[in-house]
Structure 1
Amino acid sequence: MSFVHSGARSEKASNHTNFVVEQLGRAIVAGEYPPNTMIPLDPDICEMFGVSRTVVREAKKTLIAKGLIQSKAKVGTHVRSSDDWNMFDEDVLRWHATLRNPAKFYEDLFEIRMIFEPAAAARAAEQANSIDSARLTELCDDMANATDHASFAIADYEFHKQVLKLSDNRFLHSLGNMVQTALYSMFLIEADQAFPESKTDVAHKHRVIALAIASGEASKASKAMTDVIRESYNRTRVTP
């Protein structure tokens, strides 16, 4: 007889729960289970994924917390309207970013970035100094010198994250982390149509933001950030 440490059992159950959450969450976001329709019954989910009812219950609790489903006694579990989904949940964002046709999601993401990132850049210019902004310049260099699409995307992602950090606003920082998670996911799955030809130009536009923040020019930083976001959207736009 072999014995399994209780911690190992717990970790295994957690992995199974995460797997079920991932599969059902992706399916719901992709429209395989449309709003107001029922998801499979617990025994069917158990059979689909080869997991226990305990795992299924925990997975459903997670999806309920994300706003994707609602469970009612004697009625069952149905998918909620997409308006009720928690779009600031990192998993929900990521699932949208990996849709086969994420055009509408990307448009919404562009709009929200245009609302808060230029404001964050202006705020950073008011708060930061040349020493604080040194990291932004380094990341511009990383973009210009990137040798592959992934390293370019990471530098771009870290640049915007650093601007939000320099805004010295915890709400902006947290909001940016979630939105940038989705943006980074989309950026990596896009075709390399804009790389490496445009990387120098993109790095230069980001450098304008960095210089404006370092010199305390709030309005210039805001405008430069607006230009970068708009150019990024046009460069990687997903057509329906």
Structure 2
Amino acid sequence: MHDPLPPLKSRRGGRLGDTVVAHVVDRIVSGGYAVGTSLPTEPQLCEEFGISRTVIRESIKLLEEKGLVRATSGRGTQVLPRTGWNLLDPVVLEAQIRHDSELRVLDDLVEVRAALECEMAARCARVIGPEESAALARQLEFLATCVDDAGRYATEDVVFHEMIMAASGNQLGLAIIHSIHAKARLSGRYNGTPPPGDLAVSLAEHQRIGKAILAKDPDAAATQMRLHIVESWARRRPALHDRRTEPRR
């Protein structure tokens, strides 16, 4: 099962072309428009969505930029193989998450996030200065006051991680995490249903990360960050029939 895409007329905000793109991306990712086949013609899409050819052509260009299709004169617009899709594109990633019945995309996302953030935690431990150390310590103390408020804790959890990534100086890593993790957090499938007492366990994991960074121990910081990201996903990952409940290693 997957979360349905809202009807076209209910999606407000942004350009109309962007809304059309979201629906076509959804159909491509779900297999409604199979790889190697052609999209409906421009007149057919105009009639379906009730929009002009200009908007359809703009939408096709956006789909090409995302690596999903190629428009060829005389051959129409063909759906390209998945290997060329831009999975860092937020619209493509959102659709992949919604239609991924086995959670493979989210498993991969967690692995990528763990790899990047453990490296940034290690670098942070090496380069963090006195002011950043003090701010990180204060954030840990504040996080501890939020364990009885799941919404507040989630917000401050993100702040804690972003402080570490920013202090590491790895701007590219921070940008990648932002592009994939921010979109994943909007999915109920990624957030899952944490077990009772999960926030206390999570807090202890954050404290171990912070302790390693403040002690300027890069190896411990990397290890604790990876354990936290992988184990927290394992705790909240929706169970699948006869499937593992933790990311692939």
Superposed pair shares fold, TM > 0.5 = yes
Q: How far apart, CA to CA, are the structure 2 residues paired with 1:188 and 1:146? A: 22
CA RMSD of aligned residues (A): 2.5
Q: State the shift of 1:130 in Å.
A: 4.5
Contact 1:102–1:238 (CA under 8 A) maintained in structure 2: no
The C-alpha deviation readout for 1:93-124, integer Å capped at 9, x for no partner, is: 22222336251101211221232211111011
Q: State the shift of 1:162 in Å.
A: 2.6
Q: Which amino acid aligns with 2:113?
A: R
Contact 1:153–1:188 (CA under 8 A) maintained in structure 2: no
1:120 aligns with 2:129: no
Q: How far apart, CA to CA, are the structure 1 residues paired with 2:51 and 2:149? A: 40
Q: Which amino acid aligns with 2:172?
A: F
The more displaced of 45-54 and 93-102 is 93-102
The more displaced of 130-139 and 34-43 is 130-139
In structure 2, relative to structure 1, the CA distance for the partners of 1:138 and 1:56 (3 Å cut) is farther
In structure 2, relative to structure 1, the CA distance for the partners of 1:60 and 1:138 (3 Å cut) is farther
Q: State the shift of 1:78 in Å.
A: 1.5
In structure 2, relative to structure 1, the CA distance for the partners of 1:102 and 1:70 (3 Å cut) is farther
Structure 1: 5+ residue runs without aligned partners?
Answer: 1-11
Runs of 4+ displaced beyond 6 Å? none
Q: State the shift of 1:207 in Å.
A: 1.9
In structure 2, relative to structure 1, the CA distance for the partners of 1:149 and 1:125 (3 Å cut) is same
Contact 1:120–1:163 (CA under 8 A) maintained in structure 2: yes
TM-score (norm 2): 0.80
TM-score (norm 1): 0.83
Contact 2:115–2:226 (CA under 8 A) maintained in structure 1: no
Q: State the shift of 1:148 in Å.
A: 5.2
Match of 1:155 in 2: 156
Match of 1:172 in 2: 173
The more displaced of 136-145 and 55-64 is 136-145
Q: State the shift of 1:215 in Å.
A: 2.6
Q: Which amino acid aligns with 1:89?
A: D
Match of 2:17 in 1: 17
What secondary structure, in the 3-state scheme, does the structure 2 residue paired with 1:32 have? coil
What secondary structure, in the 3-state scheme, does the structure 2 residue paired with 1:34 have? coil
What secondary structure, in the 3-state scheme, does the structure 2 residue paired with 1:70 have? strand
Match of 2:233 in 1: 233
Q: Percent identity?
A: 28
Alignment of 1:93-132 (within 5 A): 93-99=93-99, 101=101, 103-132=103-132
Q: How many residues are paired up? A: 228
Match of 2:245 in 1: none
Q: How far apart, CA to CA, are the structure 2 residues paired with 1:128 and 1:187? A: 34
The more displaced of 160-169 and 181-190 is 181-190
Contact 1:157–1:180 (CA under 8 A) maintained in structure 2: no
1:192 aligns with 2:193: yes
Q: Which amino acid aligns with 1:164?
A: M
Match of 2:247 in 1: none
Q: Which amino acid aligns with 1:23?
A: H
Contact 2:193–2:237 (CA under 8 A) maintained in structure 1: no
Match of 1:183 in 2: 184
Contact 2:69–2:80 (CA under 8 A) maintained in structure 1: yes
